[in-house]
Amino acid sequence: MLIDGQPHIYDLKNSSLRQLKGWDNVAGDVKAVYYDYNEQIIYFGGSLSFNNTYGALQYDYESEQLLSLPFGGFEENSTVNSIISYDYTDSIIFGGNFSSIGFSHLLNVTKNVTEQNYTIIRNSSGIIDISQKIPIRAQDVSATAGENYNSIICPTMEGNGWRLPNYQTGSWSVVLQSRINPSKIRLYNSHSDTNGVKAFRVVTYPANGIMNMTYVDPTDLKVKYCDAFCPLSLQSTLKSSLSNANVTDNEYYTFTNNNQTVLKLADTFQDFAFANSIDVTSFTVEIIEYYGTYAELMGVELYSLGITAYANNTLNQEDACSVATDYDINVNSEPLGNLQWEQSSTSNYLYANVLSSNISSEQGIRYNIYLPVSGKYSVLMYTSGCLEDNSCANRGIVNATLYDGLGTILSSSIIYQTNQYEKYDVLYTGMLTLEAANLPVYIDMVLYSSVGTANTAYFVADSVQLDYIQLELKDITGNISREFEVQKSDLININGLLEYVPSNFSDDVKYPIGKTSVNLIGDLVSSNATINKLIINDSSLIIAGDFESVYGGGIVGSRINESSDYTDQMELSDFFSIEGGIDGKVTNLYGPTEEFIMIGDFSSFKNLSNTNSLSIEGSVVYDSYNNSIIPLNISSSGKIDQLSGFLFNDTEYLVVSYDDSSLAPEIFDFTSHEAFENTSTLMMNIFSSLDSADEDWQLGNDSDKSYVLGSIVMFDMATDNIAQIKNSELSSMNISGNTGFVSGVYVGNGEVVVAGSNMYLLSNGSSSILTEKLHLDSDVAVKSLMWYKSNLIFAANGTGMFHTQSINGLAIYDMDSDSMKTLNESFTGHISDMTVDPEFGTIIGVGDFSVGGCNVICTFGNTSDTLTINRTISNLSGSISSANYYNSYKVLLGGNFTAEEKQTYMGYYETSNNTVLSLDHFSSQLPNPVQKMIFVNERETNKTLNDVIVVMGTDYIGFFNNSKWTSLSDGLDLENAELADIAVLNGSSSDATFYNTQILLLSGKFNMTDYGLVSSAIWDGNVWLPYTISSNRQDVNKAIAKSVVKMTTMFIYDGPFPSTSSSSTISSTHSPSMTGHPPLRKNASDFTNGQVTGVGCALAVGTLMLLSGAGLLYLILTSNGEEKLEGLKLTGED
């Protein structure tokens, strides 16, 4: 990054900033930066001077050294404004205002000029076949029946072929002289218009399998496949089909086998290509169906993949056929010197015994190969193994040299022939050019030396093979052109553009700067041109600045030739106009070449008359797809200084900065072409960005990331203090006029009552005030709700009115009759939690309150119109925050209270004798008072204190299991936390996690050690995972998730209620009976440790912006009415 015009490197990992070493020796301003990641070189451009060079310099990132460019930079007073590279070449392109380089002599280079050409005419009457025809000897042919079976190795256009007896099928077989890899077989059907072979198959050996073949279907000239039933057409059908398709000279061809086989269809024969590569020593053509009354073939020819030349020249000799129907690849071999080669008795190779003292490089063997076409080949030399003839002790060494048709050496290899088994050596891989029809490429294998001290050396000569890699397929017509070029000296006119290839600056490159298509652009634009910006993609280069050209002023484009991919330099092809150019200059561009923003001093485009009606004034979006100009919709009319962009949430934004520093930067939505405005869920205050359209500022491979200077705050949704999570979807429940919710309860039929300063009914996605008659006093809120037997019981932390009735702390509301039962007692404090005594149907309230002589815990009944106090408990003080009726006569209590004259955090209320007893064993394990506690198996009928109980305090959370405490505070920073609620919910998988299939949700406002401030998190049995982040007025410190409402009715214990006589014998430890519960999931003695499982809810973080108030209430529900927490469907980034 640049600070006051000086380059600095900012380390994103450790947030450190350092200035480049040696920059004190540089004068001028930086205008362009490019980083070569592979070479770790930073290129700087601008109005720079360094070490008597100008315009540009480089910085070695690894050695931390400033260096002059190898070409000496540019001339004095030059400026470089843009530096880019093309991903598929090694070149770097500089754009600016310059006309020469520091070492100007490097611009005096030579260029190649074509002087003449000549043409080789060969086989002009047909198509050259690139497959080598395999010689077949008459004595190697057999047939199951019929006459003339060995004569069809030379296809005949007249007379009789191999004809089977009437109404019979049969087979024709050949044993080859050597093992080959066939490319195709050519079959000539009978001359008869009514009789001949209709279907056949090819079986090869030693595979003993039916071959898969491809062929050209005469009916539609499409390539098709066959195997066990390959069709063969009559010659009359072939002639008719080719004529109807207007095929020239009655011969159609196409390519197959990766362009290594010419698949032909003529009026006398059909080619069938082998679909698979396979070694063949013999083959059989089985006739399985015929036309008319008999089957007849006029010819069979076999062709191989690639080209093979044998040392044993008898294997190279073609058939003695009287008619040559096509150009056949010609190969031969000949001995060198007076060496006498002998034929091996066990195989086809040749051998020679030579006295070690007589070994001469003049002796050996030559392989001549007459290429069918030019192309890229791989040349292999095969050597038979010494175990085959027991010659391992005396095998020698040879030298194999490959020459082109003009006698130029292409490769030379020393080959040891001491291999025990057959091997091949790669002599050459590259271009082989057909120089003339009578000039072969050739390989000379000559004797080199013996191995060891043996008196006699044993040499073998087997074969060479040319494998096709990429052939010049256009040459198969036989008409081949060649061009000769001469070199002429010329001076490169670099007029604001220079293509630089670092690898060219080496001792073996005479002209490191070439007259490339990029460097030639200087001749297309006006003299003293200034290039201000270059942008590039895979197919186009855009050049913008202050210049004129035949393609218009200020801006021009060029296509990039695909042939330049993965080469040193970029090759440009067609230049094109950007709507005729502009009437001024372009100072900056931003975006891809298909759609980009232009900034400069201009007001119109030459070829777009409709721009006169647009107020473009030097800033437009140009869309090349639709050939349209779109004004840049920004509010300020100031002169734009800089453009930078960034990607956020799949949208590209543009930061526009002005020359006038008093004008604040603006943000432009480049995706939708409109100015960005803050919303309730997305707020941005960006001063600048590290350009997402230009990766070169990054010294690493993180170009898919964007970095901005400023702030971005984004939330998934805005909500009025209630968020609903249903079937993995997060949605808002905006209720106008509310000032925050702190409690809620499910009332059945998919309906929920939520409460704060008022109460609302949520039903089917809509909301309404529960009753217009209720008016709570100022600063009074409903803290606790309970739904029991169609009645809504609510507790408030103050007073209010229901029509004319006074409300004091607690009331029962009948939703059907819109009536209220109130408490006619003086009430102070508040009730924190409520439960039901199912034996009598009364309400047990706990908290920090006093009413009618009852405090901390009280049992309430009711008459027809009022609430009454049924039972009070003496000798209690403090506060109780949580109550849970868990078994007959047993209510588990949590808080900070005194019972039996002892201060305790946990205890239980024995309803049978109306006493509260402390649970010393539990309380002693807790760090602080209890704020809330729940049984994990909430709906279990006979719960015990040995069950799993989750306990939350103001600054801790954990659980009891078999009365043993385990803290879950690891991973949480709870020093300044505001923990509000806990809930046990079903996970999204049977393998999740905390207990059986359940997970634990913690809400409030707290920090996660490795994440930061969140409003809720999930414990999955192994780690805490963030779930939601909430904010109020863009401040996460002002929002808290206060309550979780589960869409299930409260579990009410329904008995039995056994005799209470034993209650008087409670032990002095005051612990009720603790029956062991079933073991936890996977028979573990504790919760999951070290097993990370995928919990749906923890796969993403949801973000919520509160529109009013600071409290947030979650509704957890699914379509079947059971609580279940799954992954949130997010709409953006956090």
Single-letter residue type at 317: Q
Cα–Cα distances (Å) from 830 to 323, 796, 858, in that order, read: 114, 6, 12
Q: Given pLDDT bands bounded at 50, 70 and 90, which one contains residue 227?
A: very high
* Residue 772, burial from CB neighbour count under 10 angstroms (0-12, 13-18, 19+): exposed
- Tell me whether residue 322 is in a domain: no
Give the pLDDT confidence score for residue 46 in this predicted structure.
94
In a domain, 1019, yes or no: yes
Helix (H) or strand (E) holding 582: none
- The span from the CA of 588 to the CA of 534, in Å, is 9
Q: Cα(886)–Cα(844) distance, rounded to whole angstroms?
A: 13
> For residue 214, is pLDDT > 60?
yes
Among the ranges given (518-522, 855-859, 1113-1117), the one the predictor scored with the smallest mean pLDDT: 1113-1117
Q: Cis before residue 206, ω within 30 degrees of 0?
A: yes
Question: Confidence class of residue 1121 from pLDDT cuts 50, 70 and 90?
Answer: very low
Per the rule left: phi > 0, alpha: psi between -120 and 50, beta: everything else, 219 is: alpha
The reply to whether omega before 592 is within 30° of 0 (cis) is no
CATH number at residue 239: 2.60.120.260
| Max CA separation in the chain (angstroms) | 133
Q: What is the pLDDT of residue 317?
A: 81
DSSP states of 128-146 as a string? PP-SEEPP--GGGEEESS-
Query: What average pLDDT does the segment 130-154 reach?
Result: 92
Does residue 99 surpass a pLDDT of 90? yes
**What's the chain's Rg over C-alpha atoms?**
46
Q: How far apart are CA 233 and CA 410, in angstroms?
A: 46
One domain for residues 609 and 525: yes
CA–CA separation, 210 and 230 (whole Å): 11
Q: Is 250 helix (H, G, I), strand (E, B) or coil?
A: helix
Give the domain-ending residue among 889, 919, 949: 919
Q: Give residue-wise pLDDT tens across range 1038-1064.
A: 778 788 888 888 888 888 888 654 333
Q: How much is the pLDDT for 906?
A: 97
**Dihedrals phi, psi of 388, to nearest 5 degrees:** -65, -35
Residues 240 and 352 in one domain: no
Give me the mean pLDDT over the 375-392 stretch.
94
Q: Which of 201-205, 788-792, 1104-1108 has the lowest mean pLDDT?
A: 1104-1108
Q: What's the pLDDT at 964? A: 96
Query: Quick one: CA dihedral 972, 975, 978, 979, positive or negative?
Result: positive
Asked if the structure places residue 323 within a domain, the reply is: no
Residue 349 lies in a domain: yes
Q: 969-1023, pLDDT tens digit by residue?
A: 999 999 889 999 999 887 765 555 688 778 889 999 999 988 888 888 888 888 8
* Final residue before a domain boundary, out of 424, 446, 477: 477
Q: 613 and 740, same structural domain?
A: no
Q: What is the pLDDT of residue 482?
A: 58
**Phi, psi (degrees; rounded to nearest 5) at 520:** -75, -10
> At which residue do the structure tokens 């060479």 appear?
464
Amino acid at position 999, single letter: I
Cα–Cα distance measured from residue 740 to residue 757, given in angstroms and rounded to the nearest whole number: 7
- Asked if residue 1111 and residue 1020 are part of one domain, the reply reads yes
How confident is the prediction for the chain on average, in pLDDT? 83
Separation of alpha carbons 190 and 268, rounded Å: 9
**Does 116 have pLDDT greater than 80?**
no
Q: Is residue 199 part of a domain?
A: yes
Contact criterion met (CB below 8 Å) for 263 and 185: no
pLDDT at residue 634 in the model? 73
Q: Could you tell me the residue range of the domain that residue 1108 belongs to?
A: 715-771+931-1134
pLDDT of residue 507: 72
- 975 and 1105 part of one domain: yes
Phi and psi dihedrals of 555, rounded to 5?
Answer: -160, 140
CB count, 10 Å around CB of 557? 20
The dihedral built from the CA positions of residue 1094, 1095, 1098 and 1104, taken in this order, carries a sign that is positive
Q: Are residues 256 and 180 in the same domain?
A: yes
Distance CA 1113, CA 1103 (A): 14
Q: How far apart are CA 977 and CA 1013, in angstroms?
A: 9
Tokens of 697: 């500022």
311 domain-assigned: no
Residue reference for tokens 């039929």? 749
Task: Look at the chain and report how many structural domains it folds into.
Answer: 6
How far apart are alpha carbons 341 and 347 in whole angstroms? 14
Could you tell me the pLDDT band of residue 436, with boundaries at 50, 70 and 90? Answer: low
Does this model's pTM top 0.85? My answer is no
The pLDDT value given to residue 847: 96
* Residue 1029: per-residue pLDDT: 81
Clarify whether residues 565 and 599 are in a common domain: yes
DSSP 8-state secondary structure symbol assigned to residue 639: P
Looking at 771-780, 857-866, 1010-1019, which range is the least confident one? Answer: 1010-1019
- The pLDDT tens digits for 449-494 are 999 888 899 999 999 999 999 988 877 876 665 555 556 677 888 9
Q: C-alpha 224: how far from its chain's center?
A: 36
CA-CA distance, 425 to 46, in Å (whole number)? 55
Same domain for 170 and 99 = no
Nearest to 187 by CA among 110, 93, 268: 268
**Cβ contacts of residue 240 below 8 Å, gap of 6+?**
none
Dump strand ranges (E) for 37-139.
41-50, 53-60, 65-67, 79-85, 92-97, 108-121, 132-133
DSSP per position, 570-612: --EEEEEESTTBBSSEEEEEES-TTEEEEEEE---BTTBGGGG
Question: Of 693, 709, 725, which one is at a domain's C-terminal end?
Answer: 709
Residue scoring higher pLDDT (1038 or 964): 964
Question: Which pLDDT score, from 0 to 100, does residue 1098 have?
Answer: 33
Same domain, 452 and 499: no
In 3D, which of 899, 911, 908 has the Cα closest to residue 945? 908
Q: Which two tokens stand for residue 1042?
A: 């206060």
609 in the same domain as 502 = yes
Question: What are the tens digits of pLDDT across the range 903-922?
Answer: 999 999 999 999 999 999 99
Per-residue model confidence as pLDDT tens digits over 723-758: 777 655 667 776 766 557 888 899 988 889 998 888
**Residue 1078 pLDDT > 60:** no
| Same domain, yes or no: 669 and 526 | no
CA distance 104 to 110: 15
- H helix count then E strand count, the chain: 2, 84
Q: Minimal CA–CA distance to 23: which of 9, 6, 35?
A: 6
Question: In this model, does residue 635 exceed pLDDT 70?
Answer: no
pLDDT score recorded for residue 67: 94
Nearest one of 164, 175, 163, 171 to 139, comparing CA atoms:
175
Residue burial 76-104, b: 16+ Cβ < 10 Å; e: rest: eebbbbbbbbbeebbbbbbbbbbbbbbeb
pLDDT recorded at residue 604: 84
| 1122, 1027: one domain | yes
Q: Specify the higher pLDDT residue, 590 or 13.
A: 590
Express each pLDDT in 656-702 by its tens digit: 888 787 888 888 887 887 888 887 778 788 877 765 445 444 444 44
Q: Which of 765, 823, 816, 809 is nearest to 792 (CA)?
A: 816
CATH of the domain at 86: 2.130.10
Over residues 605-633, the mean pLDDT reads 73
- pLDDT single digits (tens) 318-328: 766 645 444 67
Residue 823 belongs to some domain of the structure: yes
Q: Tell me the pairing of strands 819-823 and 866-872.
A: parallel
pLDDT (tens digit per residue) in 3-55: 766 788 877 677 778 888 889 899 999 999 998 888 889 999 999 999 999 99
∠ at Cα 81 (75, 83), nearest 5°?
A: 95
| pLDDT at position 591 | 79
Contact yes or no for 440/406 (Cβ under 8 A): no
Q: Residue 126 falls within a domain, yes or no?
A: no
> What is the predicted pLDDT for the residue at 308?
95
**Would you say residue 593 has pLDDT above 80?**
no
Question: What does the pLDDT look like over 709-718, one tens digit per residue?
Answer: 777 777 777 7
Instruction: Provide mean pLDDT across the span 369-392.
Output: 93
Please name the amino acid found at residue 311. Answer: A
What's the CA gap between 891 and 843, in Å, rounded?
12
